[in-house]
Amino acid sequence: MMILSGDPPRGRVLSILLVVIVVTLAFAPFLFPGAKALNVAAKICIFAALVASYDILLGYTGSVSFAHTMFYGIGSYSLAIALFALGPNWSSIAIGLVIGLPLAALLALAIGLFSLRVQAIFFSMITLAVASAFLVLASQLSWLTGGEDGRSFSVPPLLRPGTGLIAKEDFFGFAVTGRTLTYYIVFVVAAAMILALLRIVNSPFGRVLQAIRENRFRAEALGYRTVFHLTLANCIAALVAAMAGALSALWLRYAGPDTSLSFAIMLDILLMVVIGGMGTIYGAIIGATLFVLAESYLRTLMESISTSMSSAGLPILPGLFHPDRWLLWLGVLFVVCVYFFPSGIVGRLRRGAGQSARD
């Protein structure tokens, strides 16, 4: 209860689901030794923290920002540029973080002070304009960012896949390499950020954010400085997003417009928040897990279904489930999910647990 900041999942099904996800991610290098499975697990960790940071804005304050990928990109590019320019060492990682995190916070502070005084739609438009300008800037400054090609770099020797840390014979038949260590850095840092956000939303500051979401004018009438609280929430979300971007760059050993600043990433974040449940940090974990798994394995699943139907001689259906149509079915799955779970999966499970308790 203390590590969860006094906010348990509240529901047996939800608790079991979260435990399964966390335990699976914790032992992913040993449960799923393949490169693709480990990439999927690392992506889930990174996006869970990123989505949780965005939920601070959307779910707890009601502010719709389109600049979240900008902060994600700042963290990613800062680490990439530092390692590219200064060499693959730990001091380069520290310099990248020291530059990237404060820069993200300062930009969030500037955006918050100049735009959070206006109505919600204008704030959204301002953040969209700033994010678009930053994407163009990153693409044009090829001498710094690598332009459209991005920046590839090397990591410290201890984190390289070819570095053997523990031999198979010494660890129950599992080899521990630099790639394993990198994964656990990603996992531990992402988990720490999610727990910190959980603590923040359950603090008096978090209660004020929820009051602002419900009725901003009433919160102001009660004496709360709404612009201050909204700006601080924007800065916290930006810091976590920038750190998630740094983790992504460290894992991929690359930072580029498509992986760090693309508007498609912003849409994915919105989907994950809505699917998991707005205003619930736990929803970020479930939403990120479902989305990344569907994005990574739905095509393969559809290919198997299509092949089986073709072998059975069924008409039309093999073409309908052709793997090239995986995006169509991904969209259908999410529409169905939003229709049947309007408050998100976490909201639905919590409501079901509350009804069972009353019965």
Q: Looking at residue 117, which CATH number applies to its domain? A: 1.10.3470
The four Cα atoms 225, 228, 229, 235 give a dihedral, to 10 degrees, of: 180
DSSP 3-state of 152 = strand
End-to-end CA distance of the chain: 25
Q: pTM for the whole thing?
A: 0.92
Q: Is the CA virtual torsion 208, 212, 218, 224 positive or negative?
A: positive
pLDDT for position 118: 65
Q: Which helix (H) or strand (E) holds 304?
A: helix 281-311
Residue 109 domain flag: yes
Q: How far is Cα 325 from Cα 173, in angstroms, rounded to an integer?
A: 40
Q: Which burial class, exposed, middle or buried, applies to 202 when counting CB atoms under 10 A from its CB (0-12, 13-18, 19+)?
A: middle
pLDDT for position 117: 67
Q: Which residues contact 51 (CB under 8 A, 6 or more apart)?
A: 269, 272, 273, 276, 284, 287, 288
pLDDT for position 352: 67
pLDDT for position 307: 78
pLDDT for position 160: 87
pLDDT for position 128: 87
Q: Which residue range is the domain that position 180 belongs to?
A: 12-358
The four Cα atoms 6, 288, 11, 195 give a dihedral, to 10 degrees, of: -10
Q: Are 243 and 313 in contact (CB under 8 A)?
A: no
Q: Which residues contact 19 (CB under 8 A, 6 or more apart)?
A: none
pLDDT for position 165: 77
Beta strands in the chain (DSSP E): 151-152, 164-166, 176-177, 254-255
Which stretches of the chain drop beneath a pLDDT of 50?
none
Residue 255 pairs in a beta bridge with 151
SS3 content of the chain, % helix, strand, coil (to 5): 75, 5, 20
Residue 195 domain flag: yes
Residue 4 domain flag: no
Residue 97 domain flag: yes
Residue 98 domain flag: yes
Residue 210 domain flag: yes
Comparing C-alpha atoms, which of 162, 188, 158, 156 is closest to residue 175? 162
Q: How far is Cα 90 from Cα 15, in angstroms, rounded to an integer?
A: 38
Considering its fold, how many domains does the chain have in total? 1
Residue 6 domain flag: no
Q: Would you list the DSSP string of 62-100?
A: ----S-HHHHHHHHHHHHHHHHHHH-SSHHHHHHHHHHH
Residue 2 domain flag: no
